[in-house]
């Protein structure tokens, strides 16, 4: 069973600081996604990465897919209270495989 | 344009009972997936429906079953409820190879 492990599990930092969260596995994936989920809502897709080594930027968020397509990181610059939420990585093992496997999540709290 | 909607929002059942959760996909979407999210965990894939048939299934027992209607809406049925079935049940819809969108979920509590 493929497993996506996210670290840290919990992170609480001051507004304006930078942070990085990680998503790691021993399996190779065809694609990997990052979601943010807020209380009482479903996960919202932030980005999809497909190519090993790929880097995507979304305003203050930078996403990287590992060269071997087994891991990924999310870096947030100058964190803001609106960044607070549960960050989930999710991956598909094969192209065309509909099963999306989610990581354990990182709960991020930005303190004003 | 309404997104993915789910009903009910919250539900309380007792062990052994049966429950039906409902999902209306986003307009134009024909594929619906169901996920179980236990407290403090990431969502786990239950199954996916396309053209009214179960296309793929995760590691869930037969107590979990589903249905998709011609209008693409879907139901998740769980029989013989256990305490461990307490979770947020998420529905996600998509159109073919495009990315999926999640609904707000149904919070099920089994007492």
In a domain, B103, yes or no: no
Q: Give one word for A16, left, alpha or beta, with left for phi > 0 and alpha for psi -120 to 50.
A: left
Does the pLDDT value for residue A50 go beyond 80?
A: yes
- Chain A nearest-CA distance from B3, in A, is 11
In a domain, B59, yes or no: yes
In a domain, B108, yes or no: no
Confidence of residue A2 (pLDDT cuts 50, 70, 90): low
Residue A5 and residue A103 in contact, taking contact as beta carbons nearer than 8 Å: yes
In a domain, B66, yes or no: yes
Q: What is the mean pLDDT of chain B?
A: 95
| Cβ-Cβ contacts under 8 Å, B48 against chain A | 98-99
Q: Which residues pair with A31 in a beta bridge?
A: A92
- Inter-chain CB proximity A101 and B45 less than 8 Å: yes
Tell me the CATH number at B69.
2.60.40.10
d(CA B76, CA B108) in angstroms, rounded, equals 12
Nearest CB among A41, A43, A99 relative to B45 is that of A99
Q: Which residues pair with B78 in a beta bridge?
A: B19, B64
Residues spanned by the domain of B69:
5-97
| Cβ-Cβ contacts under 8 Å, A48 against chain B | 99
A30: which residues sit within 8 A by CB, 6+ positions away? A50, A69, A91, A92, A93, A94, A95, A97
In a domain, B48, yes or no: yes
d(CA A50, CA A43) in angstroms, rounded, equals 20
A46: which residues sit within 8 A by CB, 6+ positions away? A33, A34, A35, A36, A58, A61, A63
Does the pLDDT value for residue A111 go beyond 90?
A: yes
Structure tokens given for B66: 């589903």
- Half-sphere exposure of residue A16: CA atoms within 13 angstroms, side-chain side: 1
Does the pLDDT value for residue B23 go beyond 80?
A: yes
Q: How many CB pairs under 8 A join A and B?
A: 51
Residue A79 and residue A18 in contact, taking contact as beta carbons nearer than 8 Å: yes
- A100 and chain B: CB distance < 8 Å anywhere? yes
Selected for mutation to probe chain B from A49, A100, A107 (highest B CB count within 10 Å) is: A100
* Percentage of residues in chain A having pLDDT higher than 70: 98
Q: Once rounded to an integer, what is the mean pLDDT over residues A38-62?
A: 93
- Inter-chain CB proximity B104 and A99 less than 8 Å: no
Does the pLDDT value for residue A65 go beyond 60?
A: yes
Residue A47 and residue A58 in contact, taking contact as beta carbons nearer than 8 Å: yes
Confidence of residue A83 (pLDDT cuts 50, 70, 90): very high
Domains parsed from chain A with CATH numbers? 5-111 (2.60.40.10)
Residue B92 and residue A42 in contact, taking contact as beta carbons nearer than 8 Å: yes
In a domain, B104, yes or no: no
- A48 and chain B: CB distance < 8 Å anywhere? yes
d(CA B103, CA A61) in angstroms, rounded, equals 24
């Amino acid at each position: 069973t493929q497993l996506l492990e996210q670290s840290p599990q919990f992170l609480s930092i001051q507004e304006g600081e930078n942070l990085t969260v990680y998503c790691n596995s021993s399996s190779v994936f065809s694609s990997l996604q990052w979601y943010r989920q807020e209380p009482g809502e479903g996960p919202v897709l932030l980005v999809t990465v497909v190519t090993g080594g790929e880097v995507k930027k979304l305003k203050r968020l930078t996403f990287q897919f590992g060269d071997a397509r087994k891991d990924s990181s999310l870096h947030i610059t100058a964190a803001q209270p609106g960044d607070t939420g549960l960050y989930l990585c999710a991956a598909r093992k094969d192209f065309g495989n509909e099963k999306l496997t989610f990581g354990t999540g990182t709960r991020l709290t930005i303190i004003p | 344009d309404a997104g993915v909607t789910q009903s009910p929002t919250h539900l309380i059942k007792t062990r052994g009972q049966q429950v039906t959760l409902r999902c209306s996909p986003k307009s134009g979407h024909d594929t619906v997936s169901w996920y179980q999210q236990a407290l403090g965990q990431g969502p786990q894939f239950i199954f996916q429906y396309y053209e009214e048939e179960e296309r793929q299934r995760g590691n869930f027992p037969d107590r979990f079953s589903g249905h998709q209607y011609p209008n693409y809406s879907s139901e998740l049925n769980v029989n013989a409820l256990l305490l461990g079935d307490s979770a947020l049940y998420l529905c996600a819809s998509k159109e073919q190879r495009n990315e999926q969108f999640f609904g707000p979920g149904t919070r099920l509590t089994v007492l």
